[in-house]
DNA sequence: CTGAAAGCGCTAACAA
DNA sequence: TTGTTAGCGCTTTCAG
């Protein structure tokens, strides 16, 4: 006695008085089957409550119809928006999405990829450009098409597919905005120190250097995860150690929110005493008091376009582009 | 020419000079194999870069090692925390988690369940107690063990497994806290109107009635999704239509944040002019100014314990309890 | 448009 | 401890 005990396609076929193969066709390639036959099969399916067995289909067809998405966090709205976009793009085809949460850890990413490759995915969506050597090896060995999300690959790197925007440019643009408002001693508060944060910091640094205002002491960096609490703490440090600091560029909105709350509690006026800017434009940023100057990032579209590009490649279609720059938008508000 | 072209277990076995079955055992039940044989197989696996084919395993063993989790939203930190808990509980065994985002829609839930049942899951985690008739039918027909998360099933409902806390009691407790602080005209602001919100509203209503202060005009309800913007808008409505209102119970923290920001912008003092309370204790709630009085809910543990319970049942073990009340904690802060 | 045969890659069941 | 055989439920392939 093996098997799951569920109704099989063979039983459906018998019930409908056709061969298994015809029943199979009626369900997956209905055009190849006559109307009458299809109706018989559909009736049998309904009467028997047939549920196709995906494992059997995957094994026989050598096609899993599985897409893997690896994101560094689920508690960050940025990545859940990316996932929303992916799911919408996948909704049409009957693809199954396997979501892996790497928790910003190379070891976790490796473990997840190893597991998910067992499902023989048709494609993979990644949240960063660089990976541990072992992950890079597994990706290459698997020969599964992969698209990197969030940042853009080097233009020279033609084999690489990527959808996102230039974190470097965005960091530069926000810094130049602050410089344009007349701020001179602009601190950079960075946490987590993932790839994207470091690129934003690069953008900040370049802009400060171009203005002749670069100063390494202005950079307050920590590998701790970004939280509101940490934002408050780093703001305290900034005010304490940099008395002449007139603006703070927080590497993301979570930190910026914490920084603003800290200032509110300690009667530091924003932006009169110190300006504060963030990154990502989270939902609260437009509503808080003062409203937060930040960079709006197209995360939903990143997910949507990345999945669309991947499906094109998987389906053997020629994509319009393999490097898709979706840009970013500066949101100039009250805080800076 | 069929198949994926990948290395198969048969090739590994040949390379190691053993039978396919022995190679299979060496990988999945290493204790049944001698040390020498196991070493040979492991070497072959490494040399050939063998990746097991999960579909084949699922088909042959009639066991998918897949757990499905259905949540109403990914952009809500509450449910991503639940998912974190689930993933941690699942980390030990080699289970694969299929995450379905129903977007608060019965139709979506139905579609997702129909798709995911094709993977013959070993267990299902649900985010609500009640479901559409079709979903209920599919769940029953599939005979897959299911655990409901967030709210608790009726104690009489012995067959039902559930992990969470009483939304009714929590709504009542928060309302009684407000009454204890002397507030009398307490409005209830509700959005989304999902099952959990409605139960909290019930708790509010019962507490108000017990105090002889019930008044249907105090309830401002809308099926729109909860957002900060909506919280601000509903707060405006409350202040406008209920001039004597002295406190507002927001059905979740998102709305409460919007309400507080609205008051800040319009020089309404919280809690002096009007008190505001929320539900869920989101990260920002403890840090904003004024800090938000709310109910802390054990969502991470709900996910963890629900998955643990499900694995017990799936594994044929007898669980300690099939109805797990994890309680809630009132956070008394500045806003109410 | 329909069907028969074979096999995807693995493990259950039994035998040695 | 190891091997043999059969088969999981479906689709590919080829023949009608």
Residues 220-249 of B with CB under 8 A from A: 227-229, 232
| Same domain assignment for residues B180 and B276 | yes
Minimal C-alpha gap between B74 and chain A (Å): 6
Largest CA distance in chain B: 85
In a domain? residue B32: yes
In a domain? residue B310: yes
**In this predicted structure, what is the pLDDT of residue B123?**
97
| Same domain assignment for residues A113 and A154 | yes
- The SS3 of residue B104 is coil
In a domain? residue B174: yes
| Same domain assignment for residues B217 and B273 | yes
In a domain? residue B58: no
For residue A251, give both structure tokens.
């590497």
Q: Is B75 on the interface with A (CB under 8 A)?
A: yes
H helix runs in B215-336, sequence order? 228-241, 253-265, 299-314
Pairing state of beta strands B294-296 and B329-331? antiparallel
Protein A34 CA to nucleic acid C1 C1', in Å? 7
pLDDT digits (tens, 9 = 90+) for A200-239: 999 999 999 999 999 999 999 999 999 999 999 999 999 9
**In this predicted structure, what is the pLDDT of residue A1?**
63
Query: How far apart (Å, rounded) are the C-alpha atoms in residues A258 and A271?
Result: 15
The residues near A180 (Cβ < 8 Å, ≥ 6 apart) are: none
Residue B272 has pLDDT above 90, yes or no: yes
Distance of CA A168 to the CA centre of its chain: 17
Residue B336 has pLDDT above 80, yes or no: yes
| Same domain assignment for residues B118 and B94 | yes
Beta-bridge partners for B220: B189
For residue B251, give both structure tokens.
């059905």
Range of the domain at B17: 9-52
Residue B3 has pLDDT above 90, yes or no: no
Which among A62, A77, A141 is the nearest to B2, CB-wise? A62
In a domain? residue B336: no
- Total Cβ atoms within 10 A of residue B78: 23
Tell me which nucleotides of strand C come within 7 A of a protein CB: 1-5, 7-13
| Same domain assignment for residues A91 and A205 | no
Which of B3-41 are b and which e, b meaning 16 or more Cβ less than 10 Å from the residue's Cβ? Answer: ebebbbbeebbebbebeeebbbbbbeeeeebeeebbebb
pLDDT digits (tens, 9 = 90+) for A252-267: 999 999 999 999 999 9
Q: In the sheet where A186-190 sits, what is the strand order?
A: A219-221, A186-190, A247-250, A275-277
DSSP string computed for A227-288: -HHHHHHHHHHHHHH-TT--EEEESSHHHHHHHHHHHHHTT--TTTT-EEE-SB--GGGGTS
| Same domain assignment for residues B177 and B239 | yes
| Same domain assignment for residues B46 and B105 | no
Which CATH number is A111's domain given? 3.40.50.2300
Residues of chain A found within 8 Å of residue B258, distances taken between Cβ atoms: 287
| Listed residue (B124, B128, B129) closest to B143, CA to CA | B124
Chain B residue at shortest CA distance from A283? B228
| Listed residue (A313, A301, A321) closest to A150, CA to CA | A301
**What is the total count of domains within chain A?**
3
| A128 and A290 Cβ atoms separated by less than 8 Å | no
Residue B1 has pLDDT above 80, yes or no: no
| Same domain assignment for residues A33 and A100 | no
| Same domain assignment for residues B70 and B159 | yes
pLDDT digits (tens, 9 = 90+) for A22-63: 999 999 999 999 999 999 999 999 999 999 999 999 999 999
Report DSSP state, residue A110: H
Q: How far apart are the first and last CA of chain B?
A: 71
Side-chain half-sphere of B72: how many Cα atoms within 13 Å? 21
| A78 and A297 Cβ atoms separated by less than 8 Å | yes
pTM for this predicted structure: 0.94
| Same domain assignment for residues B191 and B107 | no
| Same domain assignment for residues A133 and A160 | yes
In a domain? residue A3: no
| Same domain assignment for residues B276 and B318 | no
In a domain? residue A2: no
Residues of chain B found within 8 Å of residue A51, distances taken between Cβ atoms: 114, 117-118, 142
The residues near A36 (Cβ < 8 Å, ≥ 6 apart) are: none
In a domain? residue B255: yes
pLDDT digits (tens, 9 = 90+) for B145-192: 999 999 999 999 999 999 999 999 999 999 999 999 999 999 999 999
């Amino acid at each position: 006695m093996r098997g799951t005990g569920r109704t099989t396609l063979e039983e459906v076929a018998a019930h409908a008085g056709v061969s298994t193969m015809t029943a199979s066709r009626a369900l997956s390639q209905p055009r190849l089957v006559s109307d009458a036959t299809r109706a018989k099969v559909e009736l049998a399916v309904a009467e028997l409550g047939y549920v196709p067995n995906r494992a059997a289909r995957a094994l026989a067809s050598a096609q899993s119809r599985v897409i893997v998405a690896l994101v560094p966090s689920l508690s960050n709205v940025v990545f859940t928006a990316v996932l929303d976009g992916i799911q919408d793009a996948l909704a049409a085809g009957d693809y199954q999405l396997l979501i892996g949460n790497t928790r910003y850890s190379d070891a976790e990413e490796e473990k997840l990829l190893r597991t998910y490759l067992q499902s023989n995915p048709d494609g993979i969506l990644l949240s960063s450009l660089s990976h541990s050597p072992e992950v890079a090896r597994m990706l290459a060995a698997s020969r599964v098409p992969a698209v990197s999300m969030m940042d853009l690959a080097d233009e020279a790197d033609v084999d690489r597919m990527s959808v996102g925007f230039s974190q470097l440019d965005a960091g530069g643009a926000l810094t130049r905005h602050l410089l344009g408002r007349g701020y001179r001693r602009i601190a950079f508060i960075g946490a987590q120190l993932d790839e994207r944060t470091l690129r934003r910091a690069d953008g900040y640094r370049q802009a400060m250097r171009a203005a002749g205002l670069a100063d390494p002491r202005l950079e307050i960096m920590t590998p701790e995860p970004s939280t509101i609490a940490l934002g408050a703490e780093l703001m305290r440090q900034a005010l304490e150690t940099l008395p002449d600091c007139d603006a703070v560029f927080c590497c993301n909105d979570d930190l910026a929110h914490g920084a603003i709350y800290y200032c509110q509690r300690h009667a530091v006026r924003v932006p009169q005493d110190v300006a504060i800017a963030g990154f990502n434009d989270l939902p609260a940023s437009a509503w808080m008091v003062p409203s937060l100057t930040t960079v709006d990032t197209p995360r939903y579209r990143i997910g949507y376009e990345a999945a669309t590009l991947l499906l094109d490649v998987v389906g053997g279609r020629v994509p319009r582009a393999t490097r898709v720059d979706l840009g970013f938008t500066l949101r100039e508000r009250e805080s800076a």
